[in-house]
Structure 1
Amino acid sequence: MLPKILDEKILPMISQARITNDLKHVKEQLPIWMVDRLSKKRNITEDESSEMVVTILEVFSKMWILSLKYQLTHVLGFFVTYVFNQYRNRFRKSEIPESGELYLQLWNYEAPANEEDPIEDSINSLCMNLEKLPSFTALVLSLQFDLPMKQNLKQLLLWKLKENQMDPNLFFEECEGRRSEHRQMINRLSSMITRYTRKLYETTDPNRRIWYGKQKKIWMLRRSRALGRSFFSEREIAKWLGITRKAVRNHLSQGKHELRKVGKDLLHYA
């Protein structure tokens, strides 16, 4: 039977090892502590416990380097997650598919990972195709969906604002306020997706996994809808640019049509 090591003892040991870079003592104690935490959640045999200690020792160097990304307040959670990951890889590979580093990143509370990010992956290629559109059409699309603008579009926007006696500072303050609110909302929704992704990895109960999966899909749908909301409405764009709402709709229709032809649909907006 493995000896018991208290949490109060292991954390100062980790802290000291980080300072001195002397891993001898922590390498002896940490794997035992990790497997003890594993045994409290999983009904594992003594042979499996011993095998898991050996497994952790085999990957200790890699694990330690990964752990340095985490603050001391979160690092124990990282080590627990790591041992669960190793256990599943070794004994339950057929039950739960793992995704390596992504699984560990799900417990990075500073920047948790998400598999789904429907807008970030396509934003660069989308902007490249915007350059092929007429400038005014590209500007209208950029305003409705808050797409990054090249210098020529920024200059066109400033010219239209001044032409219509609109205060550019007021416009950009409005943009920043909306972006801040939107980021906060997306972060909240993303955190819920991450939460249920973690729960899916943690549980092996089929009914709970089904329920967690449904909850994750609900939050993914909510985030998808949030990403699909217009940044500026047709009415607001018409006001800023000094054109009619019908003209705004025409530019949006033309722009979306051209983007679809090259396979760069504006996600689910159109």
Structure 2
Amino acid sequence: MLPKILDENILPMISQARITQELGTVKEHLPIWMVDRLAKKRNISEDESSEMVVTILEVFSKMWILSLKYQLTHVLGFFVTYVFNQYRNRFRKSEIPESGELYLQLWNYEVPANEEDPYEEKLGLLKEKLETLPALTALVLSLQFDLPMKQNTRQYLLWKLRENHLDTDCFFREWEERRNEQREMIQRLTVMITRYTRKLYECTDANRRSWYGKQKKIWMLRRSRALDRSFFSEREIAKALGITRKAVRNLLSQGKHELRKVGKDLLHSA
């Protein structure tokens, strides 16, 4: 019988191995923990458990490299899904249900499904495009969507705030608070998406899979709406910059049009 390893013990091992790049301890304990998680969901024999530990050890190097793409808050989910897929691959014939339908694993290890920001790779492209826009247009976009702001745009914002007799420290403190709230919200929504993604991969019952799929879509929609939420309203931007709300709307319209020429998802890249 394999030894028991608690969840609260395995995560520090993973964290330490990432820092030191010494994999001896985590390689010894992680496969056992993974197979134990598998055994809690599947009625597998001790021989199958031992086989799965060996299987994980055989692919450990590749698995570990893939796991580095995941944040620590999500990496245990990756390892659980990985061992389930390895089990299905190894014992696929015995996993075919009475209906004869075989559920293929859909997890794309190369593109993690639970990344906090799915548009991060477009950030460089977004910065380049913002730099080509007029300063005021880029500033209005940055304020409404919390987009990256180059130094001269930030200096322009400081000048406008002082010109309108607004407290700059208070303004940026409020901005940071809103940013933190946004990150926490996105994190919570992403956790729920990951939860139902894992359930989809672990479940073979058609009705349950349908329900899990609907729940995942609901949480994905909520995250999309959260990403679309404005950081500063048109009224707040107009007050900060000393311009009319109509001018703000016109600048936003022009800026969005230019960004969509590059890619419709760029406004999510903050």
CA RMSD in angstroms, aligned pairs only: 4.1
2:151 corresponds in structure 1 to 151
| 1:7 to 2:4 alignment | yes
**Matches for 1:1-270 after TM superposition, within 5 Å:** 4-7=1-4, 38-39=38-39, 41-44=41-44, 51-52=51-52, 54-59=54-59, 82-92=82-92, 95-99=103-107, 101=109, 114=114, 117-264=117-264, 267=267
Query: What is the SS of the residue equivalent to 1:122?
Result: helix
Q: What is the distance in 1 between the residues matched to 2:118 and 2:61?
A: 35
2:98 corresponds in structure 1 to none
Q: What is the distance in 1 between the residues matched to 2:152 and 2:259?
A: 19
TM-score, normalization: structure 2? 0.72
Q: CA deviation at 1:246?
A: 1.0
Structure 1, unaligned stretches of length 5 or more? 106-112
Paired amino acid for 1:152: N
Paired amino acid for 2:85: N
Query: What is the SS of the residue equivalent to 2:120?
Result: coil
Count of equivalent residues? 247
Q: What is the distance in 1 between the residues matched to 2:231 and 2:199?
A: 33
Structure 2, unaligned stretches of length 5 or more? 94-101
| C-alpha spacing 1:132/1:226, structure 2 compared with 1 (3 Å) | same
Question: Conserved in 1, the CA contact under 8 Å of 2:160 and 2:241?
Answer: yes
| C-alpha spacing 1:46/1:167, structure 2 compared with 1 (3 Å) | closer
Write out per-residue CA displacement over residues 163-218 of structure 1, whole angstroms, 9 at most, x where no aligned residue.
11111111111111111111111111111111111111221111111111110110
Paired amino acid for 2:103: E
Paired amino acid for 2:129: N
| C-alpha spacing 1:217/1:121, structure 2 compared with 1 (3 Å) | farther
| C-alpha spacing 1:267/1:234, structure 2 compared with 1 (3 Å) | same
Paired amino acid for 2:153: L
| C-alpha spacing 1:184/1:222, structure 2 compared with 1 (3 Å) | same
1:108 corresponds in structure 2 to none
TM-score, normalization: structure 1? 0.72
Paired amino acid for 1:89: N
Write out per-residue CA displacement over residues 112-137 of structure 1, whole angstroms, 9 at most, x where no aligned residue.
x5168454343332221111111111
Q: CA deviation at 1:33?
A: 7.9
Q: What is the distance in 1 between the residues matched to 2:141 and 2:241?
A: 12
Mark the structure with the bigger radius of gyration. Answer: 1
* Greater RCO, CA 8 A, separation 6+: 2
| C-alpha spacing 1:156/1:32, structure 2 compared with 1 (3 Å) | closer
